[in-house]
Amino acid sequence: MAAFIAKQMMGSQLNAVKGQLPGGGDGGDEGDKEKEEEAERERLEAIREAEERRKEKHRKLEEEREGMRQGIRDKYNIKKKEEIVPEEPAMPDNPLMRKKKTPEELAAEAEAEDQDEFTKLKNTIETQINEVKQQIEEKFHILSGGKCILQ
């Protein structure tokens, strides 16, 4: 195990040194690169074919299972449940898996938030104005001796 780890750690450094040595020869590098690229293409092709075979196998198994299920349903007169797809999927428990918002939704939320802030500000200003108005009316009412001058 230790030899494997040492080889993995030192292998790339040894390869770099081999290329710098006078007898290293640069001509072999081009052939090695082509071989490596070909090997990589073959590996990717093999992975793709294996994945296709796996998917086909699972599709066939699922067809067989569905046939068995249908046979049981027919035997016992059970109706197949129809899957109802909810139009709006429920929010997942994991916040990282939630649906991403579109720019339009983000803009609408920002506008609503601004309106809320604006409405709050407007309400506070209106209440302050009403308080000042009441204070002024009280002072004028006292100064006029009970007669309202502001009419």
Token pair listed for 24: 């290293």
- pLDDT at residue number 151: 47
- pLDDT at residue number 112: 74
Residue 82 has pLDDT above 50, yes or no: yes
How many domains is the chain partitioned into structurally? Answer: 2
pLDDT digits (tens, 9 = 90+) for 4-39: 777 777 766 666 666 555 555 555 577 899 999 999
Q: What is the Cα–Cα distance from 12 to 48, expressed in whole angstroms?
A: 29
138 falls within a domain: yes
Contact predicate 70/62, CB 8 Å:
no
pLDDT digits (tens, 9 = 90+) for 101-145: 888 888 888 877 777 777 878 888 999 999 999 988 888 776 666
Q: What is the Cα–Cα distance from 142 to 150, expressed in whole angstroms?
A: 12
Contact predicate 148/140, CB 8 Å:
yes
99 falls within a domain: no
- Domain boundary, last residue among 24, 59, 78: 78
46 falls within a domain: yes
pLDDT range class, residue 100, cuts 50, 70, 90? confident
83 falls within a domain: no
11 falls within a domain: no
pTM for the whole structure: 0.35
Token pair listed for 140: 């004028």
> Are residues 112 and 74 located together in one domain of the fold?
no
If you average pLDDT over residues 85-95, what whole number do you get?
61
Residue 127: which domain range? 108-146
Token pair listed for 90: 């429920």
Distances (CA, A) of 47 to 44, 57, 60: 5, 15, 20
Distances (CA, A) of 86 to 64, 83, 91: 28, 9, 12
